[in-house]
Structure 1
Amino acid sequence: MDNRSEVREFLTTRRAKLTPQAAGLPEVDRRRVPGLRRGEVAALAGVSIEYYSKLERGSLAGVSASVLEAVARALQLDDAERTHLFHLAQAANGSGRLAKPRRRTAKRWTPRPSLQWVLDTITEGPAIVRNGRMDLLATNHLGRAMHSSLYDRAPGAQPNFARYTFLDDDSHRFYPDWSTAADVAVAILRTEAGRDPHDKALQDLVGELSTCNTEFRQRWSAHNVRLHGAGTKSFHHQAVGELELAYESVDMISDPGLTLTIYAAEPASPTADALKLLASWAAMSLADR
């Protein structure tokens, strides 16, 4: 796969983010552009400037793992960025299961019964399953209630977090810290684009969002990536108000490319009370249907 422009822009933006001070280099003169010079990255990685310049022009095909590791260390890439660099190299080589085109069908993915049973056993907090394109694929009872706005505003369609974030003004209500939510959404899509560069549905989604939203275009050009993990998120639900939830995300071994996220409230907190109210609200909503 010819992904030279993707490689070039990723390495260039990582180099621009790294200051001489952070790299342990002296600031000897004024710089016309931010970040390190190519020669400085080459020296830190232990390769010639000619070789590193070739890499930054997008030529990752045939590059050894040791050189990739050296470049990752020189640019001080985090785990997500390092993984992304290796995925870009896999795509450039046309090697690796994830770099090969996969036969896709138009059939909409649905959770197998056993997965839905597992989700339904989680009763104290919302639980969701999504893919790397940020399609919301499955939920438990509270997960469906928490994301009711996504379902209600995409009737009959597959709810998608990125599309909701950038194309629906309601997302600014649902995400009190909308800017951070937007950054995370784009970083997850960038990560997936490196992991599976042949995903036509992802390419179409990125094209749609790039065409329709300036905020998305600006974030997409930053080439930031992100791995699934843990933390806290804030939401504002239309029926129960503020929710401050801890979350844990894990990749699903049985379904590569899918992520299970479970949310939980601090015990005896206002959010814990709000989740109980959310469960009652969801039950009443279901009874009214």
Structure 2
Amino acid sequence: MIDAPAIIRNGRMDITAANRLGRAMYWPVFSGPGSARPRTGNIARFQFLDPARPDFFSDWDLAADVTVALLRTEAGREPYNKDLTDLIGELSTRSDDFRTRWARHNVRLHHAGSKTFHHPAVGELTLDYESMDLQADPGLNLTVYTAAPDSASHDGLRLLASWAATLDPADQPQDVDTSPPHS
């Protein structure tokens, strides 16, 4: 089991699985308008349509640029994916910010870096992340977040873990199983 926030997302930016800490970290995405709560949330839909979005992403412009570039990359891979084109159409018609960024035609892959979030329950979290495509499940990506030891963000993650334990169990998915498959 991973003892850090971990999410699995697809190319449409749907969070398809998360461990308890990952779900707690992305709680605003799961609980916002348009989410299929409690099991999935869509980062792109949250990024551009939810009024809470600027508060969650400390550098909203950068986060929005990355989200659109990842969607554009996926559109290049899967140009006939109806769910993806429906999402892009929805965001294009409902968000000027999305439409402007989409017109830039930027693409991006990112596998490691640092992000800062402003979580409504625990405040600012600056976290390093590593991301990898899941070879056994093409189209899915695992992202794990960590905080520097003895940092305010490390303390914030511990507080987030305590907060996560208080959430309604019906809203909690099963932990992501990170063990190798049985043969």
Partners of 1:156 and 1:128 in 2: CA distance: 14
Find runs of 4+ consecutive structure 1 residues off by over 3 angstroms. 286-289
Contact 1:135 1:159 in 2 (8 A): yes
Contact 2:70 2:107 in 1 (8 A): yes
Q: Which residue of 2 aligns with 1:263?
A: 145
Deviation digits for residues 211-245 of structure 1 (CA, Å, limit 9, x no counterpart): 00111111001000001310000001111100000
Query: Quick check: which has more Rg, 1 or 2?
Result: 1
Instruction: Report SS of the residue matched to 2:41.
Output: coil
Structure 2 residues not aligned, in runs of 5+:
172-183
1:81-230 to 2 correspondences below 5 Å:
121-123=1-3, 125-153=4-32, 154=35, 155=37, 158-230=40-112
TM norm structure 2: 0.88
The yes-or-no answer on 1:247 pairing with 2:129 is yes
Deviation digits for residues 117-140 of structure 1 (CA, Å, limit 9, x no counterpart): xxxx011x2000000100010001
Contact 1:229 1:250 in 2 (8 A): yes
Relative to total residues, which structure has the larger strand share, 1 or 2? 2
Q: Shift in Å at residue 169 of structure 1?
A: 1.3
Q: Which amino acid is the alignment partner of residue 132 of structure 1?
A: G
Q: Percent identity?
A: 56
Partners of 1:163 and 1:140 in 2: CA distance: 21
Q: Shift in Å at residue 156 of structure 1?
A: 5.1
Q: Which residue of 2 aligns with 1:277?
A: 159
Contact 2:31 2:38 in 1 (8 A): no
Instruction: Report SS of the residue matched to 1:285.
Output: coil
Change in Cα spacing, 1:141 to 1:253, as seen in structure 2 (3 Å) is: same
Structure 1 residues not aligned, in runs of 5+:
1-120
The two structures, once aligned, show a CA RMSD in angstroms of 1.5
Change in Cα spacing, 1:202 to 1:126, as seen in structure 2 (3 Å) is: same
TM norm structure 1: 0.56
Partners of 2:169 and 2:38 in 1: CA distance: 20
Partners of 1:255 and 1:183 in 2: CA distance: 26
Q: Shift in Å at residue 158 of structure 1?
A: 3.3
Instruction: Report SS of the residue matched to 1:145.
Output: helix
Relative to total residues, which structure has the larger helix share, 1 or 2? 1
